[in-house]
Structure 1
Amino acid sequence: MTTACPTLRVADFATESIAIDQLATRGYVIVPNFLAREQCSQLYHYAQHLEPQAWQQAGIGRADNYTTNTAVRQDKIRWLQSDFPYENAYLEMMDQLRLDLNRELFMGLFDYECHLAHYPPGAFYRKHLDAFKGRSNRILTTVFYLNSDWRKQDGGQLVIYGDNGEVLETVLPEAGKLVVFLSDVFLHEVLAGSRDRYSITGWYRLNTSIGGFIDPTR
């Protein structure tokens, strides 16, 4: 695995009027080809070649309420850190997107946290919200996909639901695709797939910290 620091260039998301309008009016947007194929491939191979101990079983809840429950969620995760070149490159790219979103939509996004997610064959994540109104500072969820040549029959789709339980989108996890949605609005789930599936899930947050403590903690 190379340790050279990659350069990831964010797509010109903020000036794409359609993407901005969709996020502002619908509360979610799907951006194909957010990164070039070569850059996606770099991130994919980085994730693929991480040592097993670099991953942890994903859980549900946060802080004192955090627990693992494989009946609800079966992926493994790795929180991205700025100490690792590939991870830092992604974090820097998404921080630039944070600045763009604040400039275009005046959202007041303060910071960003994210993790790699590995769904082995058969793994799923049942229907859930990423935040609850008035109880979290997570504002926007982002999901970025790394697998190339993903087909419909491979499964692993992200399903986004509307207010009445209707399916709004069934998103094929294709390399380079970015999904952004309001964290406390859209129920969603990850369907089981037949292949190892890699993605990066993150959250833009508001600053509701007091006395130097991040609210909520990871």
Structure 2
Amino acid sequence: MTQMTENADLEEQLIDDIADALAQRGFIHLQHLLPKWLALQLMHEAQRLAAFEFKPAGIGRNNHQQVNSQVRTDSTLWLRGNSLTQQAYLDWMEQLRMGLNRRLFMGLFDFECHFSHYSTGDFYQRHLDAFKGRSNRILSSVFYLNPHWSESDGGELLLYADEQPSPLLVVPPEFNSCILFLSDVFPHEVLASHSDRFSIAGWYRVNSQSSDRLDPNQ
């Protein structure tokens, strides 16, 4: 049996925990999320592809996208399921999509994601992933691929509550950890990285801008 055929099924209890946190707080920070073999293979693939396939990240969507080094300086590569490793990750996130829809009736329709690479000095200023009623992105995820990360490496994600100046949560980009949060509720930023930093940023989307949004208890 090869590593790529090992069990990567998502446990029902984990989906319950994620659903409860999203309903109550609108976000959850998770450790040791994926099977270790899958997290390692994602890390190796990101590192291998970064040298020749990643492109400077843009801001905005579709025809309005542009590169703006005053806002963000990372580079990205969209996951298309072009490898068994990518397929395994996308399958895992699909299991989560279906589980959250069963529990929270969020109407999540599909999932899109890309590798992100922050070199030394790279950052992403404070922003929202979606604006209420103006985007089909509902739930954001960031999965981290950085073994042996230490505080001196920088690159933390700061999650904010509305317009508050101080962060609600500081998320270190530690290996096999993940942050999930409602896309149109929580502004966030990535502090300057002091070493190579890899992650997978993703968004669950709805099929219509008129779909109901989850309203976490405050």
**TM-score after normalising by structure 1:** 0.88
Calculate the aligned-residue CA RMSD, in Å: 2.0
> Equivalents in 2 of 1:124, 1:8: separation in Å?
35
> Equivalents in 2 of 1:139, 1:56: separation in Å?
25
User: Is 1:56–1:77's contact at 8 Å kept on the other side of the alignment?
Assistant: yes
Q: CA deviation at 1:40?
A: 1.5
* % same residue: 47
User: Is 1:13–1:19's contact at 8 Å kept on the other side of the alignment?
Assistant: no
Q: Which residue of the partner structure matches residue 119 of structure 1?
A: 118
Q: Which residue of the partner structure matches residue 194 of structure 2?
A: 194
Aligned ranges 1:45-124 → 2 under 5 Å: 45-50=44-49, 52-124=51-123
**TM-score after normalising by structure 2:** 0.88
**What is the SS of the residue equivalent to 2:108?**
coil
User: Is 1:10–1:94's contact at 8 Å kept on the other side of the alignment?
Assistant: no
Q: Kindly provide the CA deviation profile for residues 62-104 of structure 1, in whole angstroms up to 9, marking residues without a partner as x.
A: 0121100011101100000123222121111111110111111
Q: Which residue of the partner structure matches residue 27 of structure 1?
A: 26
Q: Kindly provide the CA deviation profile for residues 144-185 of structure 1, in whole angstroms up to 9, marking residues without a partner as x.
A: 001111111211000000124131000000011111000011
Q: Which residue of the partner structure matches residue 204 of structure 1?
A: 204
Q: Which residue of the partner structure matches residue 153 of structure 2?
A: 154
Change (3 A) 1:6 1:120: farther
Residues matched between the structures, number: 207
Q: Which residue of the partner structure matches residue 216 of structure 2?
A: none
> Equivalents in 1 of 2:50, 2:118: separation in Å?
15
Q: Which runs of 5+ in 1 are unaligned?
A: 210-218
Q: CA deviation at 1:130?
A: 0.3
User: Which moved further from structure 2: 30-39 or 178-187?
Assistant: 30-39
Moved over 6 A (4+): none
User: Is 2:30–2:177's contact at 8 Å kept on the other side of the alignment?
Assistant: yes
Amino acid at match of 1:153: S
> Equivalents in 1 of 2:154, 2:7: separation in Å?
28
Change (3 A) 1:160 1:58: same
Q: Which residue of the partner structure matches residue 178 of structure 1?
A: 178
Change (3 A) 1:117 1:51: closer
Amino acid at match of 1:171: V
User: Is 2:141–2:179's contact at 8 Å kept on the other side of the alignment?
Assistant: yes
**What is the SS of the residue equivalent to 2:130?**
coil
**What is the SS of the residue equivalent to 1:170?**
strand
Q: CA deviation at 1:46?
A: 1.0
Q: CA deviation at 1:112?
A: 0.3
User: Is 1:129–1:185's contact at 8 Å kept on the other side of the alignment?
Assistant: yes
Q: CA deviation at 1:25?
A: 1.1
User: Is 1:37–1:175's contact at 8 Å kept on the other side of the alignment?
Assistant: no
User: Is 2:153–2:193's contact at 8 Å kept on the other side of the alignment?
Assistant: yes
Aligned ranges 1:8-23 → 2 under 5 Å: 9-12=8-11, 15=14, 17-23=16-22
> Equivalents in 1 of 2:157, 2:189: separation in Å?
6
